């Protein structure tokens, strides 16, 4: 059994309570879906100091409106090997293969921002898809494979409340990444892909439209999880701090058997547990 804690778009919301909470929860690994701190390198350095395996992807806000690419380059440097854009990161222990998708994405099909082009260079949708799928197909087949993205793939629905649906402008439409969708199709032809994790599209919909659907499962058995609970820090009615993590468990066969959106007290107590998928026979 592998237990994964997933931190949605941080937007600077990470403190000593998060550090202590992870020690209490003791997941096997932490995945971070980007939009860390609008160019502030202190948070990436803090993630590097955590005493557990971590994989991270940078989001569109990590460029901090700097079109030159220098800010997002500093963020990548601060993360070091934690940042896995277009690359395979083996987390060993616990024995997990994580492959990063295209960094700096703002969704909407396929669009490279000026910062992304300045730092990583021009590329086509198919070139990006090939880089993602090649990294994934190079992963050991005896390890569960997770794709880690900032924006999710296209193909998960075109409604405003779908996992990657545009909710801020009418008409609603699919706002997912086309290169990620293409990469997933290529990977699924050759090996199991149990989990795709992403953020960017906030759970709370704009203009009072309610809450986003945060999970999808396709016919091949791949689970897609939107972890973008924003803000991920809040207070309970008594004024005590709460912290949000998405939580995933993988069974011994590598398949996803539990997915939840969870709010924890800072001493590790589970305060709210929105169970999205549960089919584990044995749970720790």
Structural domain boundaries in the chain? 2-278
Task: Check residue 91 and report its DSSP letter.
Answer: E
Return d(Cα 46, Cα 166) in angstroms, integer: 32
Top-level CATH class of 2-278?
alpha beta
Closest C-alpha to 56, from 93, 8, 19, 95:
8
The burial class, CB within 10 Å (0-12 / 13-18 / 19+), for 34 is buried
Q: Helix 178-188 to helix 125-137 angle, to the nearest 10 degrees?
A: 40
Q: Please tell me whether the overall predicted TM-score, pTM, comes out greater than 0.85 for this model.
A: yes
Q: Which two tokens stand for residue 26?
A: 């003791």
pLDDT tens for each residue of 174-206: 999 999 999 999 999 999 999 999 999 999 999
Say if CB 159 and CB 165 are below 8 A apart. yes
3-state secondary structure of 276: strand
Q: In the structure, what pLDDT confidence band is assigned to residue 280 with cuts at 50, 70 and 90?
A: low
Is residue 125 very low, low, confident or very high in pLDDT (cuts 50, 70, 90)?
very high
Q: Tokens 């460029």 identify what position?
A: 63
Element (H, E) at 186: helix 178-188
The pLDDT value given to residue 281: 43
Asked if residue 167 lies in contact with residue 209, where contact means CB atoms within 8 angstroms, the answer is yes
Whether the ω angle into residue 144 lies within 30 degrees of 0, i.e. cis, is no
For residue 259, what are the β-bridge partners?
A: 248, 277
**Mean of pLDDT values over 29-45:** 97
| C-alpha to C-alpha distance for 72 and 27, rounded to whole angstroms | 28
Strands 2-7 and 29-32: parallel
pLDDT of residue 51: 94
Mean pLDDT of 92-114: 97
Is residue 208 over pLDDT 90? no
Tell me the CB-side half-sphere exposure of residue 43, using CA atoms within 13 A: 21
């Amino acid at each position: 059994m592998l237990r994964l804690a997933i931190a949605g778009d941080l937007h600077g919301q990470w403190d000593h309570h998060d550090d202590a909470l992870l020690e209490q929860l003791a997941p096997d690994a932490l995945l971070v879906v980007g939009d860390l701190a609008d160019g502030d390198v202190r948070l990436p350095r803090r993630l590097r100091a955590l005493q557990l395996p971590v994989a991270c992807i940078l989001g569109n806000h990590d460029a901090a409106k700097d079109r030159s690419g220098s800010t997002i380059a500093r963020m990548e440097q601060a993360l070091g090997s934690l940042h896995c854009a277009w690359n395979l990161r083996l987390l060993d222990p616990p024995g997990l293969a994580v492959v990063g998708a295209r960094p700096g994405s703002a969704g909407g099909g396929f669009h490279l921002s000026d910062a992304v082009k300045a730092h990583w260079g021009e590329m086509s949708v198919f070139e990006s898809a090939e880089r993602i799928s090649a990294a994934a197909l190079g992963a050991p087949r005896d390890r569960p494979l997770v794709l880690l993205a900032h924006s999710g793939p296209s193909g998960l629905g075109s409604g405003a409340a779908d996992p990657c649906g545009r909710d801020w402008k009418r008409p609603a439409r699919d706002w997912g990444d086309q290169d990620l969708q293409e990469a997933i199709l290529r990977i699924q032809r050759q090996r199991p892909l149990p989990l795709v994790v992403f953020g960017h599209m906030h759970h709370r919909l704009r203009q009072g439209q309610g809450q986003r659907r945060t999970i999808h499962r396709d016919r091949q058995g791949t689970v897609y999880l939107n972890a973008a609970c924003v803000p991920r820090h809040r207070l309970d009615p008594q004024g005590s701090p709460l912290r949000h993590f998405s939580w995933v468990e993988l069974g011994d066969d590598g398949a996803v058997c539990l997915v939840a959106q969870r709010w924890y007290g800072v001493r590790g107590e589970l305060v709210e547990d929105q169970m999205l998928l549960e089919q584990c026979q044995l749970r720790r």
